[in-house]
């Protein structure tokens, strides 16, 4: 017969073993998640296909609080939606450098761009664009305004821009910039002009 003390000891050991197992499992899952996140945070790259053409990027400089235009060579596909996506990716690549003139969420990327009749451009961003974005009115305004102005400069006919995150409407970018609204390109251009340094 097993003594009562031994039974309790075995039970406690079993509980400790199982609790330890659950804890280890959680740790492993966390590690896997972190690993995936760091892998996804690699800077975006331009597509290999398509000729490289000069594009104008409107880039934010946080330290000086200004916007400036920069020329870049980007390989662009033929379809307008694809071109819009790659132009935005080129802008994000500027922001994903270390150090960067302006920061966005690590691993931020453009999932898709839809050019709709009537000048509407729907930009669908990935989750990291929003979840990792630094919080602040001006910081978020810089991101939104430079993306819209860069689109407007390089893709003729874009009149309004709507941002989605993972295919869904999101209330704000990181607590400030309103993403429920449909941005008017002309109105944003006025803001950009006011912040631009030539």
Partner 1 sequence: MRSTDVRRLAALAVLAVLVAAVLPWVTRSAEEKRLYVFTPAGISSISITDQDRHEYIALQDLLPNLGQVGIRRERDVVRLRVGAVEGEFRDGRNRFRIGKMQVESALKVRIDESGRVLVPLDLLPEIIKQYTGAEPELRLASHKLYLRGVAQYVSIELRRTDPSTLVLTFPVAVSPNITNEGGRVRLSFTHEPVLMSADRIDYQDKLIQSIAFSEPNGASEITVQGAAPLLTGFSEGGRVITLSAAPAPPKIAQAPAQPPPSTSPIAAPVTPGRLPATASPGLPETPLPVHGVVPFFVMIDPGHGGDDSGARFSEKFQEKDVTLAIARRLRAELQDRGITAVLLRDSDTTLPLEQRAEGANLRRAGMFISLHAGGPGVGVRVYTALVPPADPKVREQAGPFIPWQSVHAAFLDKSRVLGEQMVSELAGRKVDAQLMPASIAPLSRVASPAVALEVAPPRDNPSLDGLNAPAYQQAVAQAAAAAVVGALAHMLEEHK
Which residues contribute to the site for partner 1 (CB under 8 A)?
Answer: 1-2, 7, 10-11, 14-15, 18-19, 21-22, 26, 62-63, 65, 134-139, 141, 144, 171-172, 175-178, 180-184, 187-188, 190-191, 194-195
Shortest Å distance, C-beta 77 to partner 1:
30
CB closer to partner 1 out of 36 and 182: 182
Instruction: State which residue, 1 or 39, has the beta carbon closest to partner 1.
Output: 1
Q: Please identify, using beta-carbon distances, which residue of 143 and 154 lies nearer to partner 1.
A: 143
Tokens of 145: 């305004």
Closest CA to 82 of 41, 110, 53, 43: 110
CA distances 140 to 130, 166, 183, Å, are 10, 18, 14
What tokens were used for 140?
């978020």
Q: Judged by CB, which is closer to partner 1: 14, or 49?
A: 14
Q: How far is CA 32 from the centre of its chain?
A: 21
- Cα–Cα distance between 103 and 35 in angstroms, integer? 21
**CA–CA separation, 123 and 43 (whole Å):** 19
Shortest CB 145 distance to partner 1, Å: 9
52 and 74 Cβ atoms separated by less than 8 Å: yes
- As measured in angstroms, the least distance from the Cβ of 97 to partner 1 is 17
| Beta carbon of residue 80, minimum distance to partner 1 (angstroms, whole number) | 22
């Amino acid at each position: 017969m097993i003594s009562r003390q031994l039974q309790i000891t075995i039970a406690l050991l079993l509980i400790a073993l199982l609790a330890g197992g659950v804890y280890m499992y959680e740790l492993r899952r966390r590690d896997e998640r972190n690993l995936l996140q760091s892998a996804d945070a690699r800077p975006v790259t331009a597509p290999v296909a398509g000729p490289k053409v000069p594009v104008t990027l409107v880039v934010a400089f946080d330290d000086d609080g200004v916007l400036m235009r920069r020329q870049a060579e980007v390989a662009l596909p033929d379809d307008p939606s694809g071109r819009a996506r790659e132009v935005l990716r080129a802008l994000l690549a500027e922001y994903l450098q270390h150090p960067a003139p302006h920061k966005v969420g690590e691993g931020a990327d453009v999932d898709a761009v839809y050019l709709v009749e009537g000048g509407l451009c729907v930009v669908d961003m990935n989750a990291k664009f929003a979840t990792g974005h630094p919080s602040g009115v001006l910081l978020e305004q810089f991101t939104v305004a430079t993306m819209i102005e860069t689109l407007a400069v390089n893709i003729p006919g874009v009149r309004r821009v709507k941002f989605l995150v993972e295919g869904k409407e999101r209330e704000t970018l990181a607590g400030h910039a309103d993403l429920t609204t449909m941005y008017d390109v002309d109105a944003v251009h006025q803001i950009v002009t006011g912040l631009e340094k030539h």
